[in-house]
Amino acid sequence: MLKQIRLLLACAALAAGMFPVALAAYETSARAAILVDITTDTVLLEKNADVPLPPASMSKLMTLNMLFEALQDGRVSLDTRFRVSTRARNMGGSSMFLNENDRPTVEELIRGIIVLSGNDACVVVAEGLAGSEEAFARLMNERARDLGMTNSTFANSSGWPDPNQRMSMRDLAILTRRLIEEFPEYYGYFSEKEFAFDGRTPDNRFNRNPLLHLGIGADGLKTGHTSEAGYGLVGSAVQGGRRIVLVITGLQSERERAEEAERMINWAFRQFARRTVLRGGTEVARARVWLGDQTEIGLVPAEDVTLLLPALDRDRLNAEVIYRTPIKAPVRKGQEIAEMVISRRDLPEVRVPLVADRDVARGGFLPRLRTALDLLWTRYVQEAQGSG
């Protein structure tokens, strides 16, 4: 059977003494949004986060993921040159202004996609890696499923309007986290503020990400806009050892996009703080052990438990320890026995594994006799209560 022990984790036991005032819900003007503290894996805000929507140029992040994977696998290098097809040259919208005589390097194409949002550069990458953009889109769809991006479909490499080009805000956040954590050697390109390929874009060489110029720790990633999608942005920023990722879409103007993104980042860093609420090895509950040379064990977290909490919240945290009983000997020190579920106001619950704080060997005759007597007494009491 499952054993449940309810706890109230007091401030004195949880460090710093600053815990959950009810936090006013953040109201975003975006059509859809998600805001994640990836340092603590905490979703701070979500609105229509799982709805597949037109991603516009934000879907170029998937094209970059495919290119970064090819670099990581050694299929191409930063110096590899790709040919430019007439189809690529004829792409409308944002451009590197490539033509059929060019042989841009992979590094130039990366910068052209990130800084200039070049649709032509995306087609060059797609054709260079898969032979055609159609084949590349099929590979994008397969890879998206592998990465757990369940609300994304791709028809092209650039985000050009198409009814089959859709991504959810959560999927974009999943993809963004991957780009940051799996490709640190290439992530720095996202913070570049300008790039003029071969001097062809003197007046259009600046990165459109408005967050890069604000001094708030922003270091990427990508804007997007079409008439169907509205104005969107995938951004990330670091402050005080925390990294947050935000995805928004459906804003009405560049200015609204910039202001809303900055406001969300400031809210994330000002309204929440990391706290170590429990030290590793601290006993939070005790559990009975059957047929052992000891009758009880302590349940402890193996490591420090650090959570993201509302910065001004002074309430206590609620916790519940859950485990399956009876716990039969032998038990090893460090063996996972239970789970502690911690509830935070206005934030998702957190599940922390609890382990045994000591070894408990299988008992001899006397412990077995004691266990048998305990069982008989428990049954007697239950039957007596039932008949009363």
Number of domains composing the chain: 2
Q: Are 205 and 116 in contact (CB under 8 A)?
A: yes
pLDDT given at position 18: 26
- The answer on 10 and 73 residing in a single domain is no
Residue 3 among the catalytic residues: no
Residue 57 among the catalytic residues: yes
Segment 22-63, tens digit of pLDDT: 344 689 999 999 999 999 999 999 999 999 999 999 999 999
The CATH number for 379's domain is: 2.60.410.10
For residue 303, the enclosing domain spans: 2-16+277-387
pLDDT given at position 17: 27
- The answer on 303 and 382 residing in a single domain is yes
Element (H, E) at 43: strand 42-47
Q: Are 338 and 351 in contact (CB under 8 A)?
A: no
Residue 67: inside a domain, yes or no? yes
- The answer on 199 and 99 residing in a single domain is yes
Q: What is the Cα–Cα distance from 14 to 60, expressed in whole angstroms?
A: 43
- The answer on 199 and 77 residing in a single domain is yes
Catalytic residue among 57, 85, 152, 157: 57
Q: Residue 167 burial (CB < 10 Å; 0-12/13-18/19+)?
A: buried
- The answer on 148 and 288 residing in a single domain is no
Residue 266: inside a domain, yes or no? no
Secondary structure percentages of the chain, helix, strand, coil, to 5: 35, 30, 35
The CATH number for 82's domain is: 3.40.710.10
Q: What is the Cα–Cα distance from 172 to 36, expressed in whole angstroms?
A: 11
Closest CA to 192 of 95, 81, 113, 104: 113
Last-in-domain residue among 145, 177, 205: 205
Strand-pairing partners, residue 3, are 323
Given a cut of 70, the residues of the chain with pLDDT beneath it are 1-25, 313-316, 364-383, 385-388
Catalytic residue among 47, 59, 60, 168: 60
- The answer on 286 and 150 residing in a single domain is no
- The answer on 112 and 9 residing in a single domain is no
Residue 259: inside a domain, yes or no? no
Closest CA to 249 of 35, 31, 46: 31
Tokens for 200, please give them: 């062809």
Residue 159: inside a domain, yes or no? yes
User: With the C-alpha atoms ordered 87, 80, 204, 122, is the resulting torsion angle positive or negative?
Assistant: positive
Cα distances from 292 to residues 323, 362, 365, 378, in angstroms, run 18, 4, 10, 18
- The answer on 111 and 9 residing in a single domain is no
Residue 222 among the catalytic residues: no
User: With the C-alpha atoms ordered 189, 190, 191, 197, is the resulting torsion angle positive or negative?
Assistant: positive
Q: What is the Cα–Cα distance from 228 to 52, expressed in whole angstroms?
A: 13
- The answer on 12 and 85 residing in a single domain is no
Residue 135: inside a domain, yes or no? yes
- The answer on 73 and 199 residing in a single domain is yes
- The answer on 313 and 201 residing in a single domain is no
Segment 253-270, tens digit of pLDDT: 999 999 999 999 999 999
Q: Residue 183 is which amino acid?
A: F
- The answer on 147 and 12 residing in a single domain is no
Q: What is the Cα–Cα distance from 312 to 23, expressed in whole angstroms?
A: 9
- Give the count of beta carbons closer than 10 Å to the beta carbon of residue 194: 12
pLDDT given at position 11: 31
pLDDT given at position 313: 67
Catalytic residue among 117, 152, 158, 168: 117
- Give the count of beta carbons closer than 10 Å to the beta carbon of residue 225: 23
Element (H, E) at 274: strand 272-278
Residue 380, SS3 per DSSP: helix
pLDDT given at position 291: 83
